[in-house]
Amino acid sequence: MRQDNRLPRVLHALLHLSDMKDPATSEQLAGMLNTNAAVVRRTMAGLRDRGILTSIKGHGGGWQLARPLEKITLAEIYQALGAPTLFALGCGDEESQCLMEKAANTATARALQLASETFITALSSVTMADLAVDFEKRLAELGLSPDNLHHFADQHH
Amino acid sequence: MRQDNRLPRVLHALLHLSDMKDPATSEQLAGMLNTNAAVVRRTMAGLRDRGILTSIKGHGGGWQLARPLEKITLAEIYQALGAPTLFALGCGDEESQCLMEKAANTATARALQLASETFITALSSVTMADLAVDFEKRLAELGLSPDNLHHFADQHH
DNA sequence: GAGTCACGTAACATTAAAAGTTACATGATT
DNA sequence: AATCATGTAACTTTTAATGTTACGTGACTC
């Protein structure tokens, strides 16, 4: 499989959305994320279905946050993306009849399961608001005031 | 990327090797693993370089364990495979200049890093001997004596 | 209410990495 | 010298994300 970058991409998009008053079109977001509008729609669809985003058609339409950043955990976003396969590693054929293969597969699956739980737990403990704080810190480190210079932080504009 | 099943496949192969007195040829292992001899050679090459296996050319040659199962951890095998990418998920473009994207990527990378550490730790705590014990248990559960019925456990034969 | 904007979605092409396959060179044994 | 088995390169296949194009539908403006 190719590498799945939807999670960081969506986080990135949500941060931009939180910074905008008006709805952002798929076209605008695609520009910020260096991708295609259809990809944005496809990727964001799950977040809309989960009530994280709203989408509005027609003039002045686009994407908006449906909730404050504090109430959106990264784990929920991961779920909204369909909880895509975390691992590039597989644990072998589940239906094998060879007991040696079963032992091998079980051991692999166990390690992957533990890693998966760690991943979900880590995502659960972080909200989008935490990311926004991280962003503000990065801004401040560059000596920029968070109040009036947000747009400088975004190289896309 | 496609799913990487090398780790469970190698574990499976090592269990079979531990059960054989004579070296097993790539052809034989390929039969047990339902794959191709060239794949076996390619996959096992890293284990040979790490001193986990020895390979012998010519008549009566093939693959053998270079150490007792107790002294082979799953983590070492994973390393011997080149520590292939664990995750199907990426953490975005590392070189982005957008501070929002950096915040998003960092958060994703952090969760992946924790998961990765859990995975390696889990692999480190298990040796091939543990897998052999697991195999014996599975044999016993089927009501078979471990002493003289090993070959029944392997559906390949 | 016609035109335009923006989402919704399907269909197809592209891409990346493991895995499968084929072929042949090299070394070891008989 | 013949045969066996590894070592390795080159190429094809596979799979899921991603990129792309196209068109339908709803919503707003005039």
Q: Express each pLDDT in B22-65 by its tens digit.
A: 999 999 999 999 999 999 999 999 999 999 999 999 998 899 99
Tokens for B15, please give them: 């269990």
CB contact under 8 A, A105 and B7: no
CATH class of A6-153: mainly alpha
For tokens 């404050």, name the residue. A68
Q: Express each pLDDT in A8-52 by its tens digit.
A: 999 999 999 999 989 999 999 999 999 999 999 999 999 999 999
Rounded CA-CA distance A47/B43 in Å is 40
Residues 6+ apart with CB under 8 A from B74: A107, A108, A111, B7, B11, B123, B124, B126, B127, B128
Rounded CA-CA distance A84/B133 in Å is 34
Count H helices and E strands in chain B, helices first: 6, 2
CA terminus-to-terminus distance, chain B: 33
The per-residue pLDDT for A148 is 52
**Is A82's Cβ below 8 Å from some Cβ in B?**
no
Query: For strand D, which residues in window 36-95 of chain B come within 7 Å by CB?
Result: 37-38, 41-42, 44-45, 48, 55-63, 88, 90
Rounded CA-CA distance B72/B121 in Å is 14
Portion 48-67 of A in contact with B at CB < 8 A:
none
The per-residue pLDDT for A1 is 61
Beta bridge pairs of residue B63: B24, B55
At A157, the pLDDT band (50, 70, 90 cuts) reads very low
| Whether pLDDT at A88 is above 60 | yes
Q: A110 near B122, Cβ under 8 Å?
A: yes
Q: A150 near A21, Cβ under 8 Å?
A: no
Would the Cβ of A3 be found within 7 angstroms of any atom in strand D?
yes
DSSP annotation of B88 reads: S
Q: A87 near B2, Cβ under 8 Å?
A: no
Q: A45 near A39, Cβ under 8 Å?
A: no
The per-residue pLDDT for B134 is 96
Closest among A14, A55, A45 to A32, alpha carbons compared: A14
Would the Cβ of B117 be found within 7 angstroms of any atom in strand C?
no
Query: For strand D, which residues in window 112-141 of chain A come within 7 Å by CB?
Result: none
A4 → chain B, closest CA residue = B89
Rounded CA-CA distance B27/B35 in Å is 9
For each successive 10 residues of chain B (157 residues), what is the average pLDDT? Answer: 86 94 93 91 93 93 94 94 88 86 94 94 96 95 62 45
| Whether pLDDT at A145 is above 70 | no
B132, amino acid identity: A
Tokens for B64, please give them: 């053998």
**Å between B6 CA and nearest CA of chain A:** 8
Rounded CA-CA distance A36/A27 in Å is 7
**Is B104's Cβ below 8 Å from some Cβ in A?**
yes
